[in-house]
Amino acid sequence: MPNPESAGAPGEASDPQELKMQPRKLQMSAQQKNSPVAAPAAEARMKRNNSFSSPTSIAGSDNGNAAAARPPTRSVTMASDPKKMTAFTRQSSWEQYKAANKSNPLLTKCITTGVLMGAGNVLGQSVLMFKGRQKAFLLKKLVAFVVFGFFFSGPMGHVWLKFLNSRKTVLKGQALILYKIALDRFLYGPAFNLVMMSFVYRVSGQSWPQMVKSLRASFWNAQVLNWKMWPIAQYVNFNYVPAELQLLYMNCIALVWTTSLSLLMS
């Protein structure tokens, strides 16, 4: 019969050699768990298991990488707000104009003068057609205003304002401003109106005798309107507008002036 004392309790190792080895195995197992090599490996296995078990973690990881690669959201925020986008575009266009006016002032002034004179003629012809004084839109007249603005009014205005602002006199303050206005309206103004009206009449298709007849009928009225409108505008211009922007200011006022002139020249 087997000896009950030698059987031992269930689950106990009956081999004495195995009993000796158990403390060493437990010590080796604890060292493996605390090993710096085993810890990252276990952490990597845990992350891999979590990624397979949770689909949202994959999506979240991809979204995180995409968010890191995305550029700043300033432009997106501006695009979502029309007011901010409009203000940004307006500011950007204005800065671009000032930079162009500084780097190439003559060409910039020629372009803006041609565009604004053309716009004034379009408004004038629109009023004439609305009132029934003109049956159809006259393209030749529009071309005449645009060409004169680009090739004549722009360069002449640029040179004239440069002359006025650089002229050395003993006058100062408001006396100097009034002196500039007098030269501008009694010397430059009549000569400019005569050249411009003659050019527009000729390019529009009139013969020399017809042009002279049209000038006799409309020049004086145009000059009187010029004296009523431009001295006040130039007083503001010479007092408050920087020299490099004075022709642009004049072109904006000329939008109304050209519209009125188109009505007189019809």
DSSP for 132-171, written as a single string: TS-SS--HHHHHHHHHHIIIIIHHHHHHHHHHHHH---S-
Q: What is the pLDDT along the chain (266 residues), one digit of tens a residue?
A: 445 444 444 444 455 555 555 556 555 555 555 555 455 555 656 655 554 444 444 444 444 454 445 555 554 444 556 665 666 556 688 889 989 999 999 999 999 999 999 999 999 999 999 999 899 999 999 999 999 999 999 999 999 999 999 988 899 999 999 999 999 999 999 999 999 999 999 998 999 999 999 999 999 999 999 999 999 999 999 999 999 999 999 999 999 999 998 888 88
Q: Is 206 exposed, middle or buried (0-12, 13-18, 19+ CB in 10 A)?
A: middle
Spell out the domain ranges in the chain.
20-54, 105-264
pLDDT per residue as tens digits for the range 27-84: 555 555 555 545 555 565 665 555 444 444 444 444 445 444 555 555 444 455 666 5
> Are 222 and 158 spatial neighbours (Cβ–Cβ below 8 Å)?
no
Nearest to 243 by CA among 179, 180, 174: 180
pLDDT at 168: 87
Nearest to 226 by CA among 187, 179, 198: 187
pLDDT per residue as tens digits for the range 16-37: 555 555 556 555 555 555 555 4
Copy the structure tokens of residue 7: 């059987």
Measured distance CA(146)–CA(150) in Å, rounded: 6
